[in-house]
Structure 1
């Protein structure tokens, strides 16, 4: 097959979408398929062109790490603010559409995959699929349009409240956006989600041909199995990933303070980048609680942080749509066998409970989180979680099996369109 992938996030950037599609494209090309990727120049998560990406400026075409052809499109430098990021996504989606119509369509793709979380990319995919008459596979990594229902909470700790005019106009705009998204999902040849719960929600709305292809438990260079430290009276808590609005890491900072005030030796380390990184860092800097806030690190350094930690924090805010999502970091943690403190609900909590990989805390509950860490600090034997997590990910989050599943979906879509 000739597969055209439209995405706002791609290697050499670091992040969950980039890892997912790096793993997929590697296996697609290995299976003999031609893959063309259309993505903006690398600029995640800082908003500007990556220092070592001069050869990937807008308009460039280069060969990817797995033999794929990568067409780089324009982007708009952005800040962490929602409006700024949305404008960047719109600019990239418009240039993606132009690039495909003027250059890429000559390859005559058999199928187009348009993947969120950048929503304008999905609409670009829908327009292109109709224009060049190829089937569209829409990939929903997040629970859209459900997340629009909590739009007022997105900026809760990051930016000032919306103006009176925005408060008046936002509800009908969000309603229209949600209706448009549902219509796009219904018209797609197939919709791929990363969780069973969100797939069920889409099916209940009349979306046809919904498939689940979970995120993979990607291997970590040089770190296959976690070895718990010898107890020394201190509990080391690691958060590793996006420091964004959906994670609510301010709760973890508050919990660390509560534990410290109760005489519990807890050291919290937050490693990553995102829209709330500065706000969380500012919050953590107040007081004498041992909290480290670090930026995003290369994949080669991730193992060092896991080796340092006793438990990995996986966190989401208490928003109902997030009960339909599973942070990809959970699979990574389960695959190496490190204890997980899951401040999650819904499907993520169910997976963690089934695998017996750690403790579950209600999202947003700093008191419960502090109490959980106190129990772990006082009884380090709870940090030993065994092999059940690796067994679960071997069955449900193996990259080879996930790619086979994805290719089967694409082949069916192409055959039905012929």
Structure 2
């Protein structure tokens, strides 16, 4: 990993454009990595402009804009944040593709002129940073960077199009996969640096053309997620899942584990916070279970309190080859920071980390009986041992996954790119 020492600031404040269609401010549900990185870079002397879609991915609705308004701006903590209108969608069909393309069109019309003519007035950015998984948007940003002669950095959150093959049932020869694969190779080979969130993804991107990589994982804001004592011992043991309710999350496996535990009259209770395309069917699947509660999504700012009230935090993903090496789940690292034992069903590096550092319990994906047994084993673990898990988790959050550490690394990298 890059050195964490800060370079001295230049008199002229460098400018950064940070583009991610699904970026959020902390008052909204969904990931806030771009907000936290941008806020940290602002404190370190950067002028940061973030461009994101106003159509919230978690809630599938607009939060700031009302048609015919196509954009709006605000300045949270010194970030120049621009919300862009995109076409709506509810399911992963052609409307989702139109949603992505409308965002790309916005970028072309708004950023291309600013990049080209801004160089004449010193208003263009010094660096363009695009964050996936929206490859067409990242590719659009690459085009803007190349045509305007600006340095380009790519951040890889999810490995598209590989996820469409491993999880979505697409074949490598399908037109969509071939097109996205071509975009992917162009992005990797033409980026100054490819930033990966999952350590296991470095080999993947290098094999597809990346010349220089940096591992800057997801991680908690330690000012927001500080260690909290375990809840007082109660008759019930609460397991919290906070995140997307989609096919990739395999939450039907968790519901079945809850059913098995309820049949055994166990003290385990499940709380689900979030939304997604599978939520309605999951609620139907859990009908009649007294130990399962579904809640609406909440803002990132509310998550620490919700986690603090739980005895354990659950991370669930389907058994997909890509997930064995290519994921960096933010909720897991938030749980580490706040000091909660975790329950994970992510085969590969995630389960291995939890087992190696003794941070909780693991189960194989798609095995509800194994998951039920693991959760019951954790619930029956003496409190001092669970407290020791919490201490080890917070130590790992500070040493490896701290958002403050990642921001320092990003600052060094971007100054290097801008040199």
Residue 297 of structure 1 corresponds to 298
8 A contact 1:80–1:274 mirrored in 2 = no
CA distance in structure 2 between the aligned counterparts of 1:412 and 1:342, rounded to whole angstroms: 37
Residue correspondence of structure 1 range 86-165 to structure 2 within 5 A: 86-103=97-114, 105=116, 106=118, 107-153=123-169
How far did residue 7 of structure 1 move? Answer: 1.4
Q: 2:36 aligns with which of 14, 23, 35?
A: 23
Q: CA deviation at 1:152?
A: 3.4
Aligned-partner SS, 1:139:
strand
Deviations 1:305-342 (A, max 9, x none): 22331111011110010112121111100011101001
Alignment partners' CA distance in 2, 1:271 and 1:56: 32
Q: Work out whether residues 18 and 128 of structure 2, in 8 Å CA contact, stay in contact via their aligned partners in 1.
A: yes
Quick one: distance in 1 between partners of 2:15 and 2:305?
39
Superposed counterparts of 1:337-356, under 5 Å: 337-356=339-358
Distance 1:393 1:32, change over 3 A: same
Match of 2:9 in 1: none
Equivalent position to 1:33, from 27, 43, 46: 46
After the TM superposition, which residues 353-392 of structure 1 pair with which residues of structure 2 at under 5 Å, given as runs? Answer: 353-381=355-383, 382-384=385-387, 385-392=389-396
What is the CA deviation profile of residues 190-223 of structure 1, one whole-angstrom value per residue up to 9, with x for unaligned ones?
Answer: 11111211112222334211111111212475x6
Change (3 A) 1:28 1:56: farther
Separation of aligned partners in 2, 1:245 and 1:142? 15
Task: Provide closer, same or farther for how the CA distance between residues 278 and 170 of structure 1 changes in structure 2, counting only shifts above 3 A.
Answer: farther
Pairwise CA distance, 1:227: 2.2
Distance of 2:362 and 2:172 partners within structure 1? 39
Q: Greater shift after overlay, 248-257 or 2-11?
A: 2-11
Question: What's the CA shift for 1:35?
Answer: 1.2
2:11 maps to: none
For 1:14, the equivalent position in structure 2 comes to 28
Is the CA contact 1:11–1:42 (under 8 Å) kept in the aligned structure 2? no
Select 2:410's aligned residue among 390, 406, 409: 406
| Total equivalences in the alignment | 397
Between the aligned partners of 2:382 and 2:236, the Cα distance in structure 1 is 10
Q: Residue 4 of structure 2 corresponds to which residue in structure 1?
A: none
Q: How does 1:53-72 map to 2 (within 5 A)?
A: 57-60=69-72, 62-72=73-83
Q: Aligned residue for 1:200?
A: 203
Q: Return the alpha-carbon distance in structure 2 between the equivalents of residues 31 and 279 of structure 1.
A: 46
In the alignment, what sits opposite 1:261? Answer: 263
Q: Retained in 2: the 8 A contact 1:215–1:397?
A: yes
Give the Cα–Cα distance (whole angstroms) in 2 for the partners of residues 95 and 79 of structure 1: 21
Q: How far does the alpha carbon of each residue in 1:389-412 deviate from its partner, in whole angstroms, 9 at most, with x for none?
A: 111111112222211211222222
Instruction: Give the Cα–Cα distance (whole angstroms) in 1 for the partners of residues 289 and 29 of structure 2.
Output: 31
How has the CA–CA distance of structure 1 residues 15 and 215 changed in structure 2, closer, same or farther, with 3 Å as cutoff?
farther
Aligned partners of 1:41 and 1:58 also within 8 Å: no
Task: Give the whole-Å Cα distance in 1 for the aligned partners of 2:103 and 2:302.
Answer: 30
> Are the equivalent residues in 1 in contact too, given 2:156–2:194 (CA < 8 A)?
yes
Alignment partner, residue 280 of structure 1 = 282
- What whole-Å deviation, never above 9, does each CA across 1:279-311 have from its counterpart, x for those lacking one? 2222222x2342111111133432442233111
Which secondary structure state, in structure 2, belongs to the residue aligned with residue 112 of structure 1? strand
8 Å CA contact retained: 1:145, 1:182: no
2:269 is paired with a residue whose SS is strand
The 2-side partners of 1:32 and 1:378 are apart by: 50
**Gap runs ≥5 in structure 1:** 154-166
* TM-score scaled by length of structure 1: 0.87
Cα RMSD (Å): 2.5
1:177 aligns with 2:193: no
Q: Relative contact order, CA 8 A, sep 6+: which one is greater?
A: 2
SS at match of 1:202: helix
Q: Which residue of 1 aligns with 2:7?
A: none
Contact in 1 for aligned 2:171/2:177 (Cα 8 Å): no
